[in-house]
Structure 1
Amino acid sequence: MARQLDEQMAGRFPVGRRLRVLDVGMGRGTQALRLARAGHSVTGLEADARLLGAARESLSAEPEGIRERVRLIEGDGRDTGVHFLPGSFDVVLCHGVLMHVEEPDPMLAGLARMLAPGGLLSLLVRNADALAMGPGLCGDFAAALTALDSASYTDRLGRTVRADRLGALRTTLAGIAAPLHAWYGVRVFTDNVADALELPAGELDRVIALEDRAGRTDPYRSVAALLHLCGVRG
C-alpha cells in the first residue's frame, strides 16, 4: 500500500516538494515516520493514548532532523476542525479508521476541508462487497452466506466493526469536493495469511508482486479484503 500512496503523491505534486501531511488515526506512527524520513512534514493524530505513546517512543529514536518534521497530537479524526485550519495540508491519510466510525460521512467531510486545493485524501477501508470471501475460502460457508447480506464483520481483536462499499464512498467523495481519482485492492490473496508467517527466500517478493498487480487489475481488486481510495480536492 505504501507503494500505491507514493505513486499517487509523486503523480500529484512536483518532484522534491516537501508536503504537509496529516495522518489521522496514525496508530504507532509507522506511516508517519516513513513519510518524515522521505522529507515531508507530518502531523499525527491519534486518540489512543497507548498507541500515541508507542509512536512517541519510536519518534524519539529518530535523528533530530526527522524528529523536527513530526508533530504528534492526541485527538480524534472527527475533531480535525478543533486542531487545524481548513486547507492546512497537502495530503490527509485515514487508514484503517473508518471501520470504527459509525457515521463516517461527517468525518470525511471534515478531512476534505483540511486539504489545500489539489490535495490528496487517502483512505484505507474494509471492503463490504467482499466480506464473504474470507470465510468462504476457509470453508466456513454458513458465515460466508451471512456475510453476503452484511456490512459488518469481526476483526482480529474480536470487535464487531463496519465495512464500506466502493460505490457509496465514490458518491461521498464527490459530495465533499474530493472526487475519487484512483482506487486499489489490498490483500487480494493474503488476508487469511498469518502476519507472523515466514516465507522462503524470494517468495515474499513474489507475493508482493502478485498483490500489487492484482490490486490494480479487475476483477481481482473488487474482491480484495481492503480498498485503498485516493480522492483529490477540487
Structure 2
Amino acid sequence: MKKKERTEQGLSLSSVITASICPLKLYYGYSPDERALWRHAVCRQVSSHLEHDPVGDTVWEEIQSIYPGIAPEFREYLDHCIAACAALPRGREWSESDVPVRSERLNVFGNIDKMFSSPPFFAVTRSSHAPRAGIYATDRLRVAGYAMCLEEMEGREVTSGIVEYIPDGIVRTCMLQPIDRRRFLAALGSARRVAAGETPSRSRNAPCDRCGHRERCAPRGKRLSDLLG
C-alpha cells in the first residue's frame, strides 16, 4: 500500500533519475550518505553567491545554519569550490531559488536550484566533477524533467537549462534534444512500475561494481536479461 500511495502523490524527479541508473537501485531504496549531503550543501551555497564574488566566511556561516552538524573539514572543501569558481563570469542574478515545480500530466515533482528571468531559465547545481566534455546523461535527464514541469506550469517552451559543476568551476548549458525527453519518459515508466510494486530487472549498463545493493541483487547469469546483458 505504501508504494501505491507514493504513486498517487507523484514521483520525485530524483527517483526518476535513480530509476534511469538502475530500477533496482530505486526498488531497494537509495539515500545519499551524510557526507554527500554536506558536499551538496557547500556547492549549493557557493552557487547562490556566483553573481558576485563569494566570501568564504559568509558562505560557511550560512552552511552551518542549514547543517549545524556539518564536519569542520568541509570548510576546506568550501574554499576549494570558491577557488574553482573564481574565473566564472559574474553579474547574472537569479530571480528565485529552491523553486518547487510539478507536472500534473506526468505526476512528477521536484525543486529547481535557481531560476532566471531569461533563457536558460534555470540552473541545476551539482557537487560532482564535470565530465571532460558535455553533460552527464543523468544531468541531461534532470534538465529534461525540470523543463517539462516548467513548460506545463508556465505554458511556454523550455529548450535548455544550465548545469553547474561547482567543484570544477564549470558551468555548461544543456540544449535539450528529443532523445533526452524520450529517455526521461522511459525512466519515468521504470519508476512508476517500481512504485506500483513490480520487481524490476537489472539495467543493461547498471554500475553494479559501485552499487551498495549489489549483494542483494540476483547473481549475474541467474536471469535471462543478465545473460543477455
TM-score (norm 2): 0.28
Structure ranking higher in strand proportion: 1
- Which of the pair is proportionally richer in helix? 2
- Flag the structure with larger Rg: 2
- Name the structure, 1 or 2, with higher relative contact order (CA <8 Å, separation 6+): 2
Give the TM-score normalised by the residue count of structure 1: 0.28
